[in-house]
Amino acid sequence: MATETPPPSKPQHRLPSSEEFAEVQQSPEFADLRHSYRSFAFPLTVGFIAWYLLYVLLSNYAGDFMGTKVVGNVNVALVLGLAQFLTTFLIAWWYAHHAAAELDPKAEAIKSRTEGGA
């Protein structure tokens, strides 16, 4: 009969108290993390919504412009519609890189300090 070796256990982290969570929330490090996130996410969100609304408004009120042929049967509306998908993927890629470079290290430092009780 073979005996199974239990998988190695993860190191146990101390769970912070609600007072410690409140203290972290008031810390300058957390404020910096929140500022880094907001200064990236909010302008991009506003910009993308404006870009989307421009597309919708052009589709509704500038039919002749949107119907302008670019190449063959491809018109401006199709090009701008596909550009909506492209910008969505570019923003997601950009955010992933921003989060990995800026947000994750700051969040990990706060987390390790909080869970470690330092």
Domain positions in the chain are: 23-116
pLDDT band at 78 (very low <50, low <70, confident <90, very high): very high
| Residue, of 116 and 18, whose pLDDT is higher | 18
| Weakest mean pLDDT among 20-24, 36-40, 53-57, 102-106 | 20-24
**Number of other CB atoms surrounding residue 36 within 10 Å:** 16
Of 79, 51, 77, the residue nearest 64 (C-alpha): 77
pLDDT band at 99 (very low <50, low <70, confident <90, very high): very high
**Number of other CB atoms surrounding residue 110 within 10 Å:** 17
Residue 89, pLDDT score? 97
Q: What is the mean pLDDT of the chain?
A: 90
Q: Indicate whether 1 pLDDT > 60.
A: no
Residue 114, pLDDT score? 86
Residue 39, pLDDT score? 96
